[in-house]
Structure 1
Amino acid sequence: MARTARVADIPSLGTLDRAAGSLSRQLAQALREAVRQGDIEPGDALPSTRSLAASLQMARGTVVDAYEQLIAEGVLESKGGAGTRVAQALAEPHRASEPRASAGPRRTARSSLPEPAAAFAQIAREFRPLPPVPFAISVPIGLTAPADIWRRLGNRLRAKGPGAPAGYTDPLGALPLREAIAGYVRKSRSVRCEPDQVIVTSGTQQGLYLARQVLLGSRDQAWVENPAYRGITAILESTGHRDAMVRVPVDAEGIDVEAGIRLAPHARAAFVTPSHQYPLGMPMSMARRNALLAWARASHAWVVEDDYDSELRYQGYPFPSLQGSAPDRVVYLGTFSKILFPSLRAGYVIVPDELVDAFCGARVLMDRHPPNADQHVLAAFMAEGHLERHIRRVRTVYADHRAQLIETLEALLPKDWAWLEPGDQGMHLVLWLAEGVDDRTVVELAARAGVAVRAVSPMFAPGTGRPGLVLGFGGFSSAQMKAAAQRLAAVIAEVMNSRKRKRRAIRKASGSREP
């Protein structure tokens, strides 16, 4: 398939020397050099003679002469109605189907990178998006995507409505959206707040970054669950808090508050996922919730509540928020990325009154304010009742998908190879693997088989990890998930059988007669 032509941008042509003789020869030579260096490529459209002459402030005839010379040489070609282009015949056959290279060379020598750059490069590799195949998390599908309603609201609000192009806006976000969010979390999550406490973000990740910026001084310790969402541990590691990050174990009741107090009684903040622990899935028990808030009050510490997947509980009602019990000590984070679609990049932070200005200031330095248009579309989506109906529909669809995936995996995998973590909410499952299996190797092999999963072990503190896989089930049909589960089971079988063969070889080499 032919590459779509682009109009070439040729900044090097601005170096022509008007005192050095014929400008047409200089221009022709500059264009030859641009083609030779790859600044413009075969098939690229050149500016018209009129526009190039105007930009270089020279006679149009000078440009016409240069173009005609290069057409004669076969460097350029001109076809009626198609303008002048770099000759397609100059393309190397083996490169014709390759994508255009990015501007400038990529540096591959890690030793030359500053320490922060190397750390951020590693994070980029870790957070590379998974392809939209099973079992990537949060891939909207037709049954749950709000496409038609969203498009209709967008058409109404973006052109001439409140979402039309405007100047700088409030760093906290559009007031109609903050009002809608405050009303929504008050009803659905028992959050106690006013719209002025709501800060619209580009998702939970930005909310976590803002919380770290505002709440933690250079030497302050912070509790973080073990295991935990890699997004928060990466933030703390990359901002000088690696040694101040206290990994607190998680059990069936959630974060172990007593362990946290033993490890760091004077920590400044605790980052938790109480409604649906990430990645394991259990909710925090009421006893642990009370203990955590009592510690925060006594220590004048802050609790950062990431209300992950709270809407997607399939048995009973979602658990109430921590924030509702201690609005003066809890910073509450929510997002629409999972329940609507990730490309929306819309979330929110709800902060105590005394922290509003601090979060606002940090937000200004980060990106001034959130994009305006989709805020108004989302506000209307919520105000007109579409979000609540959408969540009910999503919950029904995802509950069916979850049940079907559990049944399929349990039928395919022996219990001593892999087993599922119990849970009744969210849009992913954790599949534990037998002790000693390298889950990152399984991830790589699964990717080659067309299955997208994430490893659990990197979410643990060093030396405490367990092998497992995170499997999203929200965005795929039953047939897709069944086929992917079969491929994943084949990968796990391959890994387990390879381990058995290696053990037999070791026993044989050592002369052991053990079975």
Structure 2
Amino acid sequence: MDTHITGRTAADIADSVRSLLERGVLEPGDALPPVRTLADRLGVNRNTAVAAYRQLTQAGIAVSRGRAGTRIVDRAPVPQEGFAAGSVLRDVGTGNPDAALIPDPSRALADVVGRPVLYGEPVIDRELEQWALEWLGADLAPRDIRVTVTSGAVDAVERLLAQALTRDDAVALENPCFLSAIHTVRLGGYRAVPVPVDEQGMTPAGLRAALDDGVRAVVCTPRAQNPTGASLTAERAAELRAVLADHPYVLVIEDDHFSMLSHAPAQSLIGAHHRRWALVRSVSKFLGPDMCLAVTATDPYTADRLAMRLSPGTTWVSHLLQRLAFSLITDPEVREGITRAGAHYAERNDSFAARLRAYGLPCTPGDGLNVWLALPAPARAVAEQLMRRGWLPRTGEEFAVDGLPGSAHLRLTVHELDDTDAERLAADIAEAVRAVSRSGSGMIDR
């Protein structure tokens, strides 16, 4: 393969590799020749070959694996949230809120239409900004806060990472992790460092190890962690703040996606003296995914950098959308509906967990839209059995930062099931586990 690469300078060598990739001679995942081998073949200094590979890595075309060498980046697709396309099976892995519990915006629409907003005007609706400052500031230690509006939480996280990091920088992610966070880090060219999650959220030992590994950013879900449903306790949040105390310039991003729906009190990793931080709250779970709006509180420095990341592109989120979100979240009837929705999700998850326990499958539901079920058997084998019975679940390995197979968990979205279907699913899971146990294939010693 190295005989196809040409060039005498680092730029020429990098351009040659890019050309080979565009023409299909090189493909994603292909290994590039070792630096010494390439330098000898081209008759150039070894440092020239190193510089060429550095250019390819910085451009996101190649990735360095240390002693394992340098490879063309493999853009393998990662799972996405939402309904599985084209399936005839009953999808119980969507991660979606209940459409029936999303408030109808039609009544508020007529009140939000005002004069047109023109270039150069403030990018944040003043009423929404003031409300967001109070809402977000109530759960942060007293400090100077700036508010930014983005097109959802994923948009906020992507832009926050982009304003602080360069390719190959390390990012601490919860493991297991929200699918969009894994996708964002991978496409950004950053290196994901997994931090284990237990029933209280991100573990202090895992965070400490990630910081020792040189992470420059930490992405954490303080409540209703997806997929596990874990929420930080006050004690765990204090432990994590203590770990971060010696790293005040590491960017801490809290994605509090469930916020108004959560029955857990807000806790934060962000200490009073932490210098680079962001608290992100979207409206997608309670006003609907199509609302595509999130408010982000940050320190002033990060706010300025985030604004710079917004300025070349969308510049601002539609003021019509901002006014609509503000009108809905300040409507007492809508707020009561959001409270009822949160109670509904909790009750349905609790009820389903009780059904599982009745079948001998221990399950303690967390917060959020899903149930995270630990199995006494490989999840993939159990999922295959469930598919034969008409169900389509999500296996835990889809949410693993390291991508390693062998998970013993299912993530189930069950809040839309009526009692009859919930009972049938619980019974089918128990039977699927028994079927895998009888086959003896890959059983896990618990």
> What TM-score do you get using the length of structure 1 for normalisation?
0.63
Paired residue for 2:225?
A: 277
Equivalent-residue separation in structure 2 for 1:291 and 1:305 (angstroms): 16
* One-letter identity of the residue aligned with 1:174: D
* TM-superposed deviation, 1:291: 3.8
Paired residue for 2:192?
A: 245
Q: Does 1:233 find its partner at 2:182? A: yes
What is the CA deviation profile of residues 458-491 of structure 1, one whole-angstrom value per residue up to 9, with x for unaligned ones? 22224485222222244x2534xx3155146436
Q: Does 1:146 find its partner at 2:103? A: yes
Assess if the C-alpha contact under 8 Å between 2:222 and 2:267 holds in 1: no
User: Relative to structure 1, is the Cα distance of residues 178 and 449 closer, same or farther in structure 2, using a 3 angstrom cutoff?
Assistant: farther
Residue 149 of structure 2 is aligned with which of 184, 189, 200?
200
Assess if the C-alpha contact under 8 Å between 1:135 and 1:472 holds in 2: yes
Paired residue for 1:436?
A: 378
Residue 431 of structure 2 is aligned with which of 473, 487, 493?
493
Equivalent-residue separation in structure 2 for 1:331 and 1:174 (angstroms): 20
Q: Does 1:298 find its partner at 2:238? A: no
* TM-superposed deviation, 1:239: 1.9
Equivalent-residue separation in structure 2 for 1:406 and 1:359 (angstroms): 41
Q: Which runs of 5+ in 2 are unaligned?
A: 1-23, 30-59, 62-72, 442-446
Assess if the C-alpha contact under 8 Å between 1:171 and 1:370 holds in 2: no
Identity fraction in percent: 20
Q: Does 1:179 find its partner at 2:134? A: no
Paired residue for 2:169?
A: 220
Residue 363 of structure 2 is aligned with which of 406, 420, 428?
420
* TM-superposed deviation, 1:352: 0.6
What is the CA deviation profile of residues 147-180 of structure 1, one whole-angstrom value per residue up to 9, with x for unaligned ones? 1xx211102323xx25xx5444768533322222
User: Relative to structure 1, is the Cα distance of residues 182 and 473 closer, same or farther in structure 2, using a 3 angstrom cutoff?
Assistant: farther
Secondary structure of 1:398's counterpart equals helix
Question: Aligned runs of 1:315-354 on 2, under 5 Å?
Answer: 318-323=265-270, 325=272, 328-354=275-301
* TM-superposed deviation, 1:272: 1.2
* One-letter identity of the residue aligned with 2:396: V
Residue 458 of structure 1 is aligned with which of 375, 398, 405?
398
Equivalent-residue separation in structure 2 for 1:146 and 1:326 (angstroms): 39
The CA RMSD measured in Å over matched residues stands at: 3.5
* TM-superposed deviation, 1:331: 0.9
Paired residues, number: 372
* TM-superposed deviation, 1:319: 2.8
* One-letter identity of the residue aligned with 2:184: I
User: Relative to structure 1, is the Cα distance of residues 498 and 398 closer, same or farther in structure 2, using a 3 angstrom cutoff?
Assistant: closer
Assess if the C-alpha contact under 8 Å between 1:307 and 1:321 holds in 2: no
Equivalent-residue separation in structure 2 for 1:190 and 1:151 (angstroms): 34
Equivalent-residue separation in structure 2 for 1:281 and 1:433 (angstroms): 16
Paired residue for 1:357?
A: 304
Q: Which moved more, 1:111-120 or 1:301-310?
A: 111-120
Equivalent-residue separation in structure 2 for 1:263 and 1:490 (angstroms): 39
Residue 483 of structure 1 is aligned with which of 399, 421, 428?
421
* TM-superposed deviation, 1:226: 1.6
User: Relative to structure 1, is the Cα distance of residues 336 and 326 closer, same or farther in structure 2, using a 3 angstrom cutoff?
Assistant: farther
* TM-superposed deviation, 1:389: 2.3
Equivalent-residue separation in structure 1 for 2:223 and 2:123 (angstroms): 25
Secondary structure of 2:261's counterpart equals coil
Secondary structure of 2:246's counterpart equals helix
Q: Which moved more, 1:131-140 or 1:371-380?
A: 131-140
* One-letter identity of the residue aligned with 1:218: R
Residue 94 of structure 2 is aligned with which of 127, 133, 136?
136
User: Relative to structure 1, is the Cα distance of residues 205 and 446 closer, same or farther in structure 2, using a 3 angstrom cutoff?
Assistant: farther
What is the CA deviation profile of residues 206-252 of structure 1, one whole-angstrom value per residue up to 9, with x for unaligned ones? 111112101223343222222211211222222222xx321122234
Question: Aligned runs of 1:14-53 on 2, under 5 Å?
Answer: none
* TM-superposed deviation, 1:351: 1.2
What is the CA deviation profile of residues 87-113 of structure 1, one whole-angstrom value per residue up to 9, with x for unaligned ones? xxxxxxxxxxxxxxxxxxxxxxx9997
Equivalent-residue separation in structure 2 for 1:170 and 1:219 (angstroms): 37
Assess if the C-alpha contact under 8 Å between 1:405 and 1:473 holds in 2: yes
* TM-superposed deviation, 1:134: 4.5
Equivalent-residue separation in structure 1 for 2:210 and 2:195 (angstroms): 8
Paired residue for 1:377?
A: 324
From the CA coordinates, give the structure whose radius of gyration is larger: 1
Paired residue for 2:69?
A: none
User: Relative to structure 1, is the Cα distance of residues 422 and 152 closer, same or farther in structure 2, using a 3 angstrom cutoff?
Assistant: closer
Residue 237 of structure 2 is aligned with which of 289, 301, 306?
289
Secondary structure of 1:122's counterpart equals coil
Residue 203 of structure 2 is aligned with which of 252, 256, 276?
256
Runs of 4+ in 1 over 6 A off after TM superposition: 110-118
Assess if the C-alpha contact under 8 Å between 2:83 and 2:93 holds in 1: no
Paired residue for 2:6?
A: none
Secondary structure of 2:438's counterpart equals helix
Paired residue for 1:81?
A: none
Assess if the C-alpha contact under 8 Å between 1:182 and 1:193 holds in 2: no
* One-letter identity of the residue aligned with 1:343: D
Secondary structure of 2:241's counterpart equals helix
* One-letter identity of the residue aligned with 1:227: P
> What TM-score do you get using the length of structure 2 for normalisation?
0.71
Assess if the C-alpha contact under 8 Å between 1:169 and 1:369 holds in 2: no
Equivalent-residue separation in structure 1 for 2:375 and 2:313 (angstroms): 40
What is the CA deviation profile of residues 65-101 of structure 1, one whole-angstrom value per residue up to 9, with x for unaligned ones? xxxxxxxxxxxxxxxxxxxxxxxxxxxxxxxxxxxxx
User: Relative to structure 1, is the Cα distance of residues 257 and 414 closer, same or farther in structure 2, using a 3 angstrom cutoff?
Assistant: closer
* TM-superposed deviation, 1:253: 3.7
Equivalent-residue separation in structure 1 for 2:365 and 2:426 (angstroms): 20
